[in-house]
């Protein structure tokens, strides 16, 4: 059975753009793993598009990555994620709180280069 790895939003963007250089040495973690995102990553992608920080919305990004690398969204009930997000008081960012909580509920590594997340989420990795 493949290891499940959750991806943070910036990792999804880099994979979509095929910017593998930005992934550096963590590319090895992607190979042979089941790649999953929190539904909050999808919402953040759409938000970035709507505020002009991305040139494409969530749907084309996620469809492309589902086809190319088998990316899926976690289907855990939101009611299981939110109570864990409540405990992530180290950030005011609701996207980060829910993305971290989703990985924690699943007990899966969260691939992120975000230093603040790595300092506060025991399953966050960037090596």
Q: Name the residue range of residue 55's domain.
A: 4-125
DSSP 100: H
Per-residue model confidence as pLDDT tens digits over 14-65: 999 999 999 988 998 898 999 999 999 999 999 999 999 999 999 999 999 9
* Helix segments in the chain, DSSP class H: 9-16, 27-30, 39-50, 58-69, 78-86, 94-106, 115-120
Work out how many domains the chain is built from and give that number. 1
CATH number at residue 40: 3.40.50.1010
Query: What band does 127 get if pLDDT is binned at 50, 70 and 90?
Result: confident
CA angle, residues 116, 45, 86, in degrees to nearest 5: 45
Query: What band does 71 get if pLDDT is binned at 50, 70 and 90?
Result: very high
Q: What is the pTM of this model?
A: 0.96
The percent of residues above 90 in pLDDT, for the chain, comes to 91
């Amino acid at each position: 059975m493949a290891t499940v790895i959750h991806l943070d939003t910036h990792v999804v963007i880099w994979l979509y753009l095929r910017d593998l250089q930005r992934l550096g040495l963590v590319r090895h973690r992607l190979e042979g793993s089941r790649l999953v995102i929190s539904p909050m990553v999808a919402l953040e992608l759409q938000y970035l598009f709507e505020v002009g920080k991305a040139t494409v919305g969530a749907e084309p990004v996620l469809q492309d990555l589902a086809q190319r690398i088998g990316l899926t969204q976690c289907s855990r009930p939101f009611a299981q994620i939110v109570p864990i997000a409540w405990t992530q008081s180290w950030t005011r960012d609701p996207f980060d709180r829910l993305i971290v909580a989703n990985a924690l509920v699943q007990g899966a590594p969260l691939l992120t280069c975000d230093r603040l997340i790595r300092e506060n989420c025991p399953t966050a990795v960037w090596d």
